[in-house]
Amino acid sequence: MNEVSASAHSDTDIPVVERASATEELLPPLTRSSLSFLCDSGGISPTAWSKALDFCGFRPDGSAWLAYWRQVSILGGVLFFLAGLICFIAWNWGDMRPFQRMGLVGLVVAGGGIGAVIRGLDTRLGQALLLTCGVAMGPMLAVFGQTYQTGAELWELFRVWTVLLVLLAIAGKQAGLWFASWLSGNVFVALWLGRSLSSPFDAFSQFFVLPEWLLVIACAVALWEWAARRAGQKESRAWLRSRWLPRLLFFDLIVRTTSYLIITIFDAYYVADGLVLWLPHQFVVLFAVIIACLSCWWYRKKEPDLFMLASLLGAGTVILIAVLAKSELFFDAGVVTAFLLWGLLIAGITAGLAKILLHLQRSMAVEQKSEAATGFSNSSGFTVFGRARPDVSWQALWKNLQAHGAVQAEDSLPRLEEPISPWYIRLLLSLGGWLTALLFVCFLGFLLFATLGIDSYEWLSILVVSVPILFVGRMLVAGNQIFSRHFGFALSITGSVGIAISLFLTFDKPMLACFALAVLLVGISIFMRAAAYTFLAAASICGCVAIGISFLLYEGLGDGLSAHLVSIAVNLSTLWWILVGLGLAYFCMREGKWRGSSRGPIADAWFFGAYAGMLLFQIAALGLPYGLNHFLSIPVIGAAGIGLGAAVGTACVAFFLTRKRSWQVRAAVMIGMVIFIVLSRYQPGATLAVFGLVLARQLGNAVMQGFVLAYLLAYMIFYYYNLAVPFSMKSAYLTITGVLLLLLALILQIWKTKMSKQEASHA
């Protein structure tokens, strides 16, 4: 979710920036994150950085904010309205006439199609309406089949739905409809192949490791790449240059193939007993080799795409580790030695992977014109705020800065010696560091308690061992070698985990251990001066304080003070999350204070880590209480007030952004914020998601937005599924919410149009 969680280069040293001519420049794509990185590394001043944001359009104005929330409202309104309509028909099935059922769903299908034609298939609203029309066709087919008892099976419904979606995708020329067609087609084929099985879940499990479908996915990726290459620079086919869909398909192919090979390595009999059509299961091994070779050639030479290569190398690394594990490498050396050697091996493999990826990124720097810190596409029309305007280049930006005196006229474009690694590379490499740390923790545990037989003063023994490991990790993280950086990162996590264990063994009360660990993590983060470690520490600190507050309640339940302690715990928890929300809002609005120095990446890590901590704790509070004992349900208390904290943070950002606007705008925004704060009591998870969208939009972070939107969708499904009201009320709530969001989108559109006319009249 962040862009600092796992760096492929050193987190302590900012890459050196040199001056070079325009022909020698080695600059990343012009994005907001690359400008911030350039500023932190000394390439441009904070003043020039601020002017560059305005020139490139990275700093949203009032019109951009209205357009953004209009898109979010349209998307949410359509989803809520469709869900409410389906639930309404399902609840009133027996009381509705066939014509009424078909009429309701048909109205959505017809309205979406007609509205798309009226608005234009090339407009964002038209594309959204056409996608709504396609998605609503599925429920319409289901209602038709149940109403008139056609006898059609479920796979037949998805077959017809897939055909209709494909036809709409051909007419609409948008990647979203092709993705919907792909999903529907997957379900159709899985159900058709498993029509003789007792459960659809059995069908999907068999379908996941089907060799024929691997070939189908590969052909789909190849066809898309062929069509995109033929499209060239034609404006009418710009949607084919979207990268998110081929990346998703390729990632699906890589995950399926890798899973198949791993299952084959560890349990060949399970694969042999699977569904067999025409191709033998041995085909997958040859298929994987061919796909790997062709993909390396195509995405390195013909269509440079670092995401594809990183996915391929990551999959190859996982398969290599699986082969080594199957061969029982180091297993005969004893448990303790095996954990140590495996930790060193994983650290070495991760360092080697980092070296290969950095080499690829450097060699592809000139070719990677579309690379940015996001998996979304320019042509998607929804997450474009992480990129510059199409007519802006580094040369145009530099000339503008020179014209405004932000840089000297004789200064040439800066050049970074180290490229900025995209988020997926950082995440991929961080997984290796976390796995290495886990192995080292197991090694220490077995060494201290199994081999050395320590049975007294365990906390002291763990602490004595963990502190030197932490210091060694700090020294290695600051090194210049790739292996030392990742090895040091793993050692730093290992030492921190050891210190945390020793604290919980020292204190009789877990509450005190949580608070002490939070304080220690602050100090260790300052000492480490590493962005990746700081991100993890920030997320952990948020959780430690909240869990400590939760233990305040849990420990007092047996003393008969539960009512008093509940009040204290809830108030403290609310206060804590308000402070976190205010801190995030302050960073978002005062980002310029940290730009232009080595503190910039560290400050970014604190920011993203703190929000990740809020998000993870909210998820834990929702999921842990189900099916677990009372002790593990304490995050529910710790999450009290998290919605209010997010709402207060959102209100502060809104107040800051509108402080120079007219009183009418400020009054409208503040009234909306008051309503938002009141609603946060009933929808804390949704409030937290909206807060994340505000922060992501202001900072131009498309990766953060993607994670927040995924969380919001999952949260709303969870919320309505567990809502303790009759099904009829759920359908009403969903429908009303959808209508309100669509009305909000209309209001925002009218407001945006009015603002545009006012700006035109003053021009």
As a whole number, mean pLDDT of residues 571-586 equals: 92
Most confident of 348-357, 359-368, 645-654: 645-654
**Count of C-beta atoms within a 10 Å radius of residue 267:** 11
Confidence of residue 647 (pLDDT cuts 50, 70, 90): very high
pLDDT score for 308: 93
Of 97 and 211, the structure prediction assigns the larger pLDDT to: 211
pLDDT in tens, 36-57: 888 888 888 888 888 888 888 8
As a whole number, mean pLDDT of residues 195-224 equals: 80
How far apart CA 398 and CA 225 sit, in angstroms, is 34
pLDDT in tens, 400-431: 888 888 777 777 777 666 667 788 888 888 88
- Region class of 328: left (phi > 0), else alpha (psi between -120 and 50), else beta: left
pLDDT score for 254: 94
- What CA–CA distances, in Å, run from 472 to 105, 447, 605? 64, 19, 22
How far apart CA 216 and CA 24 sit, in angstroms, is 43
How far apart CA 602 and CA 13 sit, in angstroms, is 11
Of 528 and 622, the structure prediction assigns the larger pLDDT to: 528
Domain ranges of the chain: 92-188, 209-327
pLDDT score for 150: 62
pLDDT score for 20: 42
pLDDT at residue 200 above 60?
yes
As a whole number, mean pLDDT of residues 94-116 equals: 77
**Of 711, 705, 710, whose CA–CA distance to 3 is shortest?**
705
- What CA–CA distances, in Å, run from 127 to 169, 245, 739? 10, 16, 19
* Residues pairing with 415 in the sheet: 18
Most confident of 364-373, 607-616, 702-711: 607-616
As a whole number, mean pLDDT of residues 315-324 equals: 93
pLDDT in tens, 258-294: 988 998 888 766 665 556 677 777 888 899 999 999 9
Of 211 and 636, the structure prediction assigns the larger pLDDT to: 211
- What is the token pair recorded at 607? 């920011």
Q: What are phi and psi of 387, to 5 degrees?
A: -125, 160
pLDDT score for 579: 94
Mean of pLDDT over the chain: 80
